Amino acid sequence: MAILVTGGAGYIGSHMVWTLLDAGEDVVVLDNLCTGHEWAIAGQAHFVRGDIDDPAIIERITNAHDIEAVIHFAGSVVVPESVADPIKYYRNNTCATLALVDHCLKAGINRLIFSSTAALYGAPEEAPVAEDTPLAPLSPYGTSKLMIEQMLRDIAATGALHYVALRYFNVAGADPHQRTGQSTDGATHLIKVACEAATGKRPGMSVFGTDYDTADGTALRDYIHVSDLVNAHYLALQHLRIKPESFTLNCGYGHGYSVYEVIDAVKRLSGNDFPIQLGQRRVGDSPRVIADNTAILEKLDWQPQYADLDLIVQHALDWEKHLAQRNMGAQEGVS
């Protein structure tokens, strides 16, 4: 039996592939490489290049492999882009996932783990925020994911599907063995941006908002190490193998760090005091988004290994240096 990982050439998916292979699982990756990289896919995985909503591709995969479950990461993930181009997000997230689920169910695959997001909570009044908090996404990206959660709930209610939706908080860091990491060009996430500034890939960075009602005036987020996140997926898969049920869980550590604390950690660990510009609040940003993780700790017996800002930053920095060397090597190859 094999696990189908959609989006396995991307940031989180490429970590998932390694975790599955490390556990001795057979893995098939489906990715159209629109933002992912073929080099990020572990060599032992079977790679199929194509779109998740293409019935012929799903048929090809299910004819060639005995797929027992899908771990579904593929999608479009940039919040501001979703505001500028909502159709892309409803098409590539909501519609494409509906097609994927439809084709998978027809092929007899009825277990799914889905990448949801804390963006569903919008700007939550309370912190930490639990799964039963009313959902109020602030962007088409968040709404496109909320619609998927609702579709999965309704399909599961018929008994046709068993799924786990994991609402990720702020994913960061890289594989501790440096086999993969966040490699997206033009990334906007705080830790990635700060690591790029620390390694000279950008001249400096901005702090978006210094007048929040927090201890140091900057916004708080719950940063979760990507390896702990993919381990939660593996636990969810093992759960579905034993118990045919469906549920939704927050994925975060339950405590937050401010933007200043993150930047200080990156400067301290890199030894580079890169320039900072103090800017206005970013539209749609919340003062604090922190997970209530009681449910995932209980339900999956999840035991995070890397719940430490310095570890997350160190692994992200190491990966940024690895990427810089990789790109230098590629340029030398061309010249």
Ligand X SMILES: O=c1ccn([C@@H]2O[C@H](COP(=O)(O)OP(=O)(O)O[C@H]3O[C@H](CO)[C@H](O)[C@H](O)[C@H]3O)[C@@H](O)[C@H]2O)c(=O)[nH]1
Chain contacts with ligand X (rule: CB under 6 A): 79, 117-119, 168-170, 188-190, 193, 205-208, 219, 221, 259, 282, 285, 289
Judged by DSSP in three states, 170 sits in: strand
Active site includes 11? no
DSSP-based three-state secondary structure for 213: coil
Peptide bond into 128 cis (omega under 30): yes
Q: Which of 2, 4, 11, 165 binds ligand NAD (CB under 6 A)?
A: 11
Site track 286-305 with ligand NAD (rule: CB under 6 A), x = hit:
--------------------
Picked from ligand X, ligand NAD, none, the partner binding residue 115 (CB below 5 to 8 A depending on kind) is: ligand NAD
The entry of ligand X, ligand NAD, none near residue 11 (CB within 5 to 8 angstroms by kind) is ligand NAD
For residue 289, the partner it binds in ligand X, ligand NAD, none, with Cβ less than 5 to 8 A by kind, is ligand X
DSSP 19-81: HHHHTT-EEEEEE--SS--GGGS-TTSEEEES-TT-HHHHHHHHHHS-EEEEEE--S---HHH
Do 207 and 278 meet the contact criterion of CB atoms below 8 Å apart? yes
Q: Which of 83, 150, 203, 218 is nearest to 194 (CA)?
A: 203
Among 79, 171, 174, 230, binds ligand NAD (CB under 6 A): 171
Selected catalytic residue, list 89, 141, 163, 168: 141
Are 284 and 79 a contacting pair, CB within 8 Å?
yes
- Shortest Cβ distance from residue 114 to ligand NAD (Å)? 8
Taking CB under 6 A as the rule, does residue 320 contact ligand NAD? Answer: no
Question: Segment contacting ligand NAD (CB under 6 A): 32-40, 193-201, 287-295, 313-321?
Answer: 32-40
Q: Which residues are catalytic?
A: 141
